[in-house]
Amino acid sequence: MLLELLVHGARPRSELADRLRLSRPTLSRVTKALVAQGLLVEGATELRSTTGRPSELLHVHGASHRFLGVKLTGDRLFAAVTDLTATVVDSVEQPLPNRDPDEVIAAITEVSAGFPGLTGLGVVLGGVVRAGRVVRAGFLDWTDVPLGPRLTETTGVPTAVDNDVQALTAAEHWFGAGAGTTSMVVVTIGAGVGTGLIVDGRLVEGSHGLPPRLGHILVDSTGPHCGYGHRGCAAGFLMTHVILRQLDGSPTYDEAVARVRAGNKQARDVFERSGYALGVLIGTAANFLDPQKILLTGEGLPLYELTTPTVHKGIEDTYEDDPTLIDLDVQPFDFGEWARSAAALAIRKTITGAA
């Protein structure tokens, strides 16, 4: 019931009873318990457009709990504090002292201590995570770090850890543009290329703790190496560092974007090829799942903005059906979204008990 209200917003009692197939007495009993725990508020009314009559709404009481979400990169820590509805109420960003697990754990513990009374802590990073343990995170040079259990101990706050793209996909499915969808593909572009899947209303979790990795589909066997043993896959075209290494003078991403805007031919060509690869990736995802929505986001979004017609050419060349069937939802991104999705992971764990 709490989840239903979190994902779909405030609802009248009658509608909740129908949707959850609960009898009125059961609904009343559950409501009472949730109100007693400070999780729900009742009493506000709205005029129902269908009946014209006022109906009592049940709301999630967001301020009843606080969650801390942390996103780790190779050199920085981004933190966001949210309420129970994943609304950000505070944020912190700081450099990591170094990549040593003990020092990173100490840094997170210190940030956590700055926000007393947390209900849950969530940490996300690029890498393979299984049951709260970081099996492997290349950019931090970590293998087998029991991050979740250790942080639970040092912070005293129940801690969930997950792959960052998986957490972002779940957060978008609960609290974002994908709320209420039963099938969705999330594509993130930036330092890495991430793909997340919602199928039958659930996050797809690989049987080996791996996230789905559509990014390695072949686009053009003469393309750049992705660094994972293949050449010309979509990830090879799309990862920021691979884009940049094809340009003279090793520019930053912002500088490369400025070059494209200024009409620099080399930069334009590299971006167009990458844009086409993005289209092939999106078209393949649409062929594969026929999802309700494909959500594109990430810090590499300027690529899409600069090469939109080429991205859509890539989609048309790949997708078997009418491309207007694809609901491509391009969501603006700022880096704090990762930290918010980490907090959403903690919320998910608190409510469902899942890691």
Number of chain residues interacting with Zn ion (CB under 5 A)? 6
Using the rule CB under 5 A, give the single segment among 105-113, 150-158, 227-235, 346-354 that binds Zn ion. Answer: 227-235
**160/226 with CB nearer Zn ion:** 226
Residue closer to Zn ion (CB basis): 13 or 230? 230
Q: How many residues does the chain have?
A: 355
Nearer to Zn ion, 48 or 230 (CB): 230
Handedness of CA 269, 280, 303, 76 (dihedral sign): negative
Under the binding rule (CB under 5 A), the answer on residue 233 touching Zn ion is yes
Residue matched to tokens 């969705």:
184
235 sits near Zn ion (criterion: CB under 5 A): yes
Map the footprint of Zn ion across residues 186-225, applying CB under 5 A.
Answer: 216
Structure tokens at 249: 């003078």
Stretch that binds Zn ion, among 110-118, 127-135, 234-242, 272-280 (CB under 5 A): 234-242
DSSP label at 324? G
Tell the smallest beta-carbon distance from residue 228 to Zn ion (Å).
5
Measured from the CB atom, the residue of 86 and 303 that comes closer to Zn ion is 303
| Separate counts of helices (H) and strands (E) for the chain | 13, 16
Minimum CB–partner distance for residue 192 and Zn ion (Å)? 11
Instruction: Mark out the alpha helices in the chain (DSSP H runs).
Output: 2-8, 13-20, 24-36, 101-113, 147-155, 164-175, 234-238, 240-245, 253-261, 265-289, 302-306, 308-318, 336-352
- The correct pick among 147, 214, 219, 226 for binding Zn ion (CB under 5 A) is 226
State the greatest distance between any 2 C-alpha atoms of the chain, in Å, as a whole number: 70
Give me the residues that bind Zn ion (CB under 5 A), please: 216, 226, 228, 230, 233, 235
